[in-house]
Amino acid sequence: MSTSSSGHFLLTNLLLDKMKHTAETSGIEGRIVNLSSVAHQHTYRGGIRFDEINDKPSYNDKRAYGQSKLANILHCNELSRRLKAEGANITVNSVHPGLILTNLFQHHAKLMKVLYLLSYIIWKNVAQGAATSCYVALHPSLKGVTGKYFLDCNEFPPTQQARDENLGKKLWDLSNKLVSSAQTS
């Protein structure tokens, strides 16, 4: 698990009681939307390397990125199940925003120009990239829709690993353990 996925876990948990209270007192559904990626399809064998989280010799940047995006989906799905079980008026979904042409790769300008020229048809501008997140966060037709993955403003089936409840529960337990140990040290 990467810092980014444990960061999602911690931030969401820090805000969750306030969200539950606000949803309950206002009667307005709360919505949690986490960014993921289709890169969740390209991770290590088994999805999450629980026994080798910080193993430097076998580290692969692309597979680690995929693992972190898989972790984001698993976190959303597990949180969705938990909130649904307690009757909270909060939905939790994950989205793939697409390939967005931003300044994120400004230090790789030449590489980005080549990639863009080769694949310009699939790149989105910032507004297009934000569309799915905004749709999931705001559209009335998604009231009550939870535990789903969206791509291009449509529900899209993630990988079997991303739908694996046991993997989600195991990741939840590990995340709790990591966050708890970091807070006590």
1-23 pLDDT, tens digit each? 444 457 888 999 999 999 999 99
Mean pLDDT confidence for 118-128: 69
Set out the domains of the chain in order of their start, with CATH numbers.
3-184 (3.40.50.720)
Which of 64-73, 122-131, 162-171, 174-183 shows the lowest per-residue confidence on average (mean pLDDT)?
122-131
Residue 119 confidence (pLDDT) = 59
Q: Tell me the per-residue pLDDT of 63-105, one tens digit each, with 9 for 90 and over.
A: 888 899 999 999 999 999 999 999 999 999 999 987 666 665 5
Specify which residues 151 forms β-bridges with. Answer: 96, 154
Res 47 pLDDT > 90: no
Residue 116 confidence (pLDDT) = 57
Annotated catalytic residue, options 44, 59, 116, 149: 59
User: In angstroms, rounded to a whole number, what is the distance separating the alpha carbons of residues 131 and 152?
Assistant: 8
| Annotated catalytic residue 59 | yes
Q: Which residues contact 118 (CB under 8 A, 6 or more apart)?
A: none
Residue 1 confidence (pLDDT) = 46
Which amino acid is located at 22 in the chain?
T
- Of the candidates 175, 40, 20, the residue with the CA atom closest to the CA atom of residue 91: 20
